[in-house]
Every structure is written in structure tokens, then in C-alpha cells.
Amino acid sequence: MTSMDESPYDLRGKRVWVAGHRGMVGSALLRRLEDENCDLQTVPRSEVDLTSQADTANWMRKARPEAVFIAAARVGGISANARYPAEFLVENVLILVNVIKAASELGVEKLMCLGSSCIYPKHAEQPIREEALLTGSLEPTNEAYAIAKIAGMKLASAYAEEYGHRFISVMPTNLYGRNDNFDLDHSHVIPALIRKMHEAKIAHRDSVVVWGTGTPRREFLHVDDLADACVFLMKQYESPKPINIGSGEEIAIGELAFLIADIVDFRGHIVFDTLKPDGAPRKLLDCSRLRALGWSPSIGLRAGIEELYDRWKKTSRSVQGRHDYP
């Protein structure tokens, strides 16, 4: 059994595998880990299918990673989650079980499982503390994804409790940033609104549709801040209890729409389509545990969205329509 007062885990010189390195989170981790002098490992999806137990275990046996970040996941916004519950549940459960089980069998020294704030009950008390997990029913639009992530995190902590493995889980809030998915059927709200407003501006359309009532509130964290927090926790955190990663920067979707319109310089109307789902009313994470360890974010919401918009404008021809699953 490990304890909180152990010396920090040293990534230097270690074989570190980022599973899901092509996704938004995995690619941010790769960029951040370049500063850690470790031996970075990645494997393309065409070579190893992480939903296959045999593929995953065989590759890990050969590569012998010493530390593992599980950023591989089937991800998507409110629409994709609600439309493909079977795929979100099965693919995420398989990836998590295959990697975590093989990591245990192969004696991986340290492993991080990435969850999500949607695993908390729909009506959890705000800001949401880690203890709220499994105290109420989930938001139906992302229940399948949440159940898979809960299973993975419980498995990581079961291995930690039962075998003393240094397997930890983190729960990031809503993320955005470089390599975000701009496909409107699959994207989250920030890339969706950037794209909709940019395209409306270019086409001189005078309105843009925003889903739902505009009243739900979301906390957003830039993926580069998330990667920094993950590396920090990989070194510093040893408890099998999951830990929240948030920014504390919360905004109503309606206000976010006006902010993005301002950044994009879209001057038309914003129309709320109340027939589309709102999802969870609010999911602000309580990050006092993370703050107490000494980490805080550095990228503000406006600056982060501006940077994403600039980057996307430069590459939008190759990004539009891409299904950016890790």
C-alpha cells in the first residue's frame, strides 16, 4: 500500500507511454512531457487497437512502459454522447480495462487514468467535491461515457488498494484547446461555436444557433493547463482516491456565446434552440485538494479561446470535418 508522504515519482529517464497521443489530451501531454527528459512512447491506432485485449497486452509486453497516461478514449460533445451510447460505453470500458489490467500484470510503476467531470451526479452540490462520486443519478446525455469512466477509475483504485500499485485517477473539468474536434456532430461547445460563428461571419449570415437555453453553466480548462496538472500529479499524487482538475473559471453557455462572438467578430444574432438538450445544469469542480498540493492554472478563458481560434483559422481546411477521436 502506498502513501501520500512517499517521495515524488521521477519521470526522468523513464519509458513513458501516452495512450491516445493523437487526441486533444494525449497530444497536449506529449508536448508537456518533452520537458521531462523521459523516453516517450506512442503507438498508432493502425498498429494497436486498444479495444483488443490481446493487441494491448502484446504491445505493452514489448514496449515495457514504466509510466502510463491513459488519454485514449472515445470522446464527444453532448450530441455524439447521446446518440452513440453503446459505442461510448463499450469502447471506453475496453480501453480502460485492457490497459489497466495489462499495466498491473506487467508491473507498470505509475499509471494515470483520466476521467471526466461528467461522472458526477447531475444534481451534485456545487462546487463538486471528489466525495460526490456515486451519490446520485447521472446526467442522461452522457451516462454511458460516465459509467465507462467510473468503471475504469474504480478498477485503477481497486488495483492500487489490492496490490499497492501506484495507479491514480484524475477528473478533469470541460476541456478545450489545440487539436480540439471541430466537427459539429461530435464537438464540444467551444469549437462548435467558434466554427459556427466564423462560418456565419464569412458567409454574411445574420444569425447563429446555440443549442439549449443558454443557462447551463460550465467550467472550462485549457488542455495545456490540464497536461501540466497531469504531469504535476503524476509526480506528486499517490492516493487511490481520484482528484479533480479544474480552472475555477465558470461561465453560462449564453455568456460564452457572446464571448466567442466577440473574439470571432461575429456581429449577427444569437438564437437559442431550446429543443436541443441543455445537459447538466452546472458542473463546477471543487479543486481545493489540487490547490493544496500547489498547482494552479495559467491560461485564462478569453486568451485560450483566442489562441484556439487563431490556430484553427490557420489550419481549418485540414481540420474541418475531421473526426478527432484519439
181 binds ligand GDP (CB under 6 A): no
Sequence letter at residue 222: H
Binder of ligand GDP out of 15, 178, 235, 276 (CB under 6 A): 276
**Residues contributing to the annotated binding site for substrate:** 196, 211, 218, 278
Q: Which three cell numbers stand for residue 300?
A: 485564462
127 upstream amide cis, omega within 30 of 0: yes
DSSP code of residue 131: G
Report which of 147, 96, 100 is spatially closest to residue 120, judged by C-alpha positions. Answer: 147
Burial of 154 (0-12, 13-18, 19+ CB in 10 A): middle
- Return the residue of 278, 295, 316, 325 that touches ligand GDP, per CB under 6 A: 278
Cα–Cα distance between 201 and 38 in angstroms, integer? Answer: 45
Binding piece for ligand GDP, criterion CB under 6 A, among 46-54, 228-236, 272-280, 300-308 = 272-280
- E runs forming strands in the chain: 15-19, 39-41, 67-70, 110-114, 166-172, 174-176, 207-211, 217-222, 243-245, 250-252, 269-273, 282-283
Stretch of residues binding ligand GDP (CB under 6 A), selected from 36-44, 204-212, 260-268, 309-317:
204-212
The SS3 of residue 210 is strand
Radius of gyration over alpha carbons of the chain, in Å? 19
Select 8 or 321, whichever has its Cβ closest to ligand GDP.
Answer: 321
Question: Does residue 78 touch ligand GDP according to CB under 6 A?
Answer: yes
115 binds ligand GDP (CB under 6 A): no
Site for ligand GDP in 5-44 (CB under 6 A): none
Specify the residue, 110 or 218, whose C-beta has the smaller distance to ligand GDP: 218
Q: Which of residues 116-135 bind ligand GDP (CB under 6 A)?
A: 118
Any contact of residue 144 with ligand GDP (CB under 6 A)? no
Q: Compute the 3-state secondary structure of the chain and give helix, strand, coil in percent, each to the nearest 5.
A: 45, 15, 40
Question: Is 152 near ligand GDP (CB under 6 A)?
Answer: no
Report the C-alpha gap between 221 and 11 in whole angstroms: 24
244 belongs to the binding site for ligand GDP (CB under 6 A): no
The answer to whether 187 contacts ligand GDP (rule: CB under 6 A) is: yes
Total residues contacting ligand GDP (rule CB under 6 A)?
A: 21
Q: Do the Cβ atoms of 29 and 18 come closer than 8 Å?
A: yes
| C-alpha torsion angle, residues 127, 133, 139, 143 (rounded to 10) | 140
Residue 253 as a binder of ligand GDP (CB under 6 A): the answer is yes
Q: Which is nearer to ligand GDP, 236 or 316 (CB)?
A: 316
- 70, 192, 229, 230: residue in contact with ligand GDP (rule CB under 6 A): 192
Stretch that binds ligand GDP, among 29-37, 259-267, 274-282, 288-296 (CB under 6 A): 274-282
- Quick one: which of 14, 32, 198, 218 contacts ligand GDP (CB under 6 A)? 218
Residues noted as catalytic: 145
Do 23 and 179 meet the contact criterion of CB atoms below 8 Å apart? Answer: yes
Residue range at the interface with ligand GDP (CB under 6 A); choices 8-16, 46-54, 58-66, 186-194: 186-194
Residues that bind ligand GDP (CB under 6 A): 77-79, 118, 142, 174, 187-189, 192-193, 210-212, 216, 218, 253, 276-279
